[in-house]
With several copies, the nearest count.
Chain A
Amino acid sequence: MNRLHVKLPGLDLKNPIMPASGCFGFGKEYSQVFNLSELGAIMIKATTLEPRFGNPTPRVAETTSGMLNAIGLQNPGLQKVLSEELPWLEQFIVPIIANVAGSQVDDYVEVAKEISKARNVHALELNISCPNVKTGGIAFGTIPEIAADLTKRVKEVSEVPVYVKLSPNVSNIVEMAKAIEHAGADGLTMINTLVGMRLDLRTGKPILANKTGGLSGPAIKPVAIRMIYEVSQAVSIPIIGMGGVQSAEDVLEYFYAGASAVAVGTANFVDPYICPTIINKLPALLDKYGFDHISECQGRSWK
Chain B
Amino acid sequence: MMKKELMKVVSHECIGENIFELTLEGMLVNEMKEPGQFVHLKVSEGSEPLLRRPISIANINKADEQFTVIYRREGLGTRVLSEKILDQYVDVLGPLGNGFPVQGVKPGETALLVGGGIGVPPLYELSKQLVKKGVRVIHVLGFQSSSVVFYEEKFAELGNTYIATVDGSYGQKGFVTDIIKKEEIHFDTLYSCGPTPMLKALESSYHHKNAYISLEERMGCGIGACFACVCRLQDDPNGYSYKKICSDGPVFKVGEVIL
The number of residues on chain B lying at the interface, defined by a beta carbon within 8 Å of a beta carbon of chain A, is 31
B81 at the interface (CB under 8 A from A): no
A271-B4 in contact given A58-B217, A65-B47 (Cβ < 8 Å): yes
The number of residues on chain A lying at the interface, defined by a beta carbon within 8 Å of a beta carbon of chain B, is 40
Binary CB contact string for chain A from 40 to 75 against chain B (1 if under 8 A, 0 otherwise): 000001000001111001111110111101010010
Q: Contacting A268 at CB < 8 Å: which of B42, B47, B49, B221?
A: B221
Q: Which residues of B contact A76 (CB under 8 A)?
A: 240
B231 at the interface (CB under 8 A from A): yes
Q: Which residues of A contact B232 (CB under 8 A)?
A: 53
Q: Is the CB of A269 within 8 A of B240?
A: no
Q: Is the CB of B228 within 8 A of A60?
A: yes
Q: Is the CB of A66 within 8 A of B217?
A: no
The 8 residue pairs across chains A and B that have the minimum distance between CB atoms: A25-B225, A51-B240, A29-B225, A65-B47, A269-B221, A60-B228, A58-B218, A29-B224
Q: Is the CB of A269 within 8 A of B52?
A: yes
Q: Is the CB of A57 within 8 A of B231?
A: yes
When C-beta atoms are compared, the residue in chain B nearest to A207 turns out to be: B218
A270-B51 in contact given A57-B231, A76-B240 (Cβ < 8 Å): yes
Q: Is the CB of A25 within 8 A of B217?
A: no
Q: Is the CB of B4 within 8 A of A64?
A: no
Q: Which residues of B contact A269 (CB under 8 A)?
A: 51-52, 220-222, 225-226
A260 at the interface (CB under 8 A from B): no
B178 at the interface (CB under 8 A from A): no
Q: Contacting A60 at CB < 8 Å: which of B220, B225, B242?
A: B220
When C-beta atoms are compared, the residue in chain B nearest to A208 turns out to be: B218
A25-B4 in contact given A59-B218, A217-B47, A218-B50 (Cβ < 8 Å): no
Q: Is the CB of A57 within 8 A of B229?
A: yes
A2 at the interface (CB under 8 A from B): no
Q: Contacting A270 at CB < 8 Å: which of B1, B42, B227?
A: B42
Q: Contacting A74 at CB < 8 Å: which of B224, B239, B242?
A: B242
A32 at the interface (CB under 8 A from B): yes
**B interface list, Cβ under 8 A from A:** 1-2, 4, 42, 47-52, 93, 217-232, 239-240, 242, 247
A33 at the interface (CB under 8 A from B): yes
When C-beta atoms are compared, the residue in chain A nearest to B91 turns out to be: A271
Q: Is the CB of B220 within 8 A of A57?
A: no
Q: Is the CB of A33 within 8 A of B2?
A: yes
CA distance A65 to B45 in the complex (A): 12
- Least distance between B93 CB and chain A CB atoms (Å): 7
16 A-B pairs with CB atoms under 8 Å apart are: A23-B226, A28-B225, A32-B1, A32-B2, A33-B4, A57-B231, A60-B219, A60-B220, A60-B226, A65-B47, A76-B240, A77-B240, A217-B50, A268-B225, A271-B42, A273-B4
A196 at the interface (CB under 8 A from B): no
Q: Is the CB of A61 within 8 A of B218?
A: yes
CA distance A292 to B220 in the complex (A): 37
Q: Is the CB of B220 within 8 A of A64?
A: no
Q: Is the CB of A270 within 8 A of B50?
A: yes
A266 at the interface (CB under 8 A from B): yes
Q: Is the CB of B220 within 8 A of A25?
A: no
CA distance A240 to B4 in the complex (A): 29
Q: Contacting B93 at CB < 8 Å: which of A28, A59, A60, A272?
A: A272
A88 at the interface (CB under 8 A from B): no
A24 at the interface (CB under 8 A from B): yes
A246 at the interface (CB under 8 A from B): yes
- Least distance between B229 CB and chain A CB atoms (Å): 7
- Least distance between B143 CB and chain A CB atoms (Å): 20
Q: Is the CB of A57 within 8 A of B50?
A: no
- The winner among B48, B240, B247 for most chain A CB atoms within 10 A is B240
- Least distance between A48 CB and chain B CB atoms (Å): 11
CA distance A92 to B183 in the complex (A): 58
Q: Which residues of A contact B48 (CB under 8 A)?
A: 64-65
A62-B51 in contact given A23-B226, A268-B225 (Cβ < 8 Å): yes
Q: Which residues of B contact A58 (CB under 8 A)?
A: 217-218, 228
Q: Which residues of A contact B222 (CB under 8 A)?
A: 269
- Least distance between B7 CB and chain A CB atoms (Å): 15
CA distance A22 to B93 in the complex (A): 20
Binary CB contact string for chain A from 161 to 185 against chain B (1 if under 8 A, 0 otherwise): 0000000000000000000000000
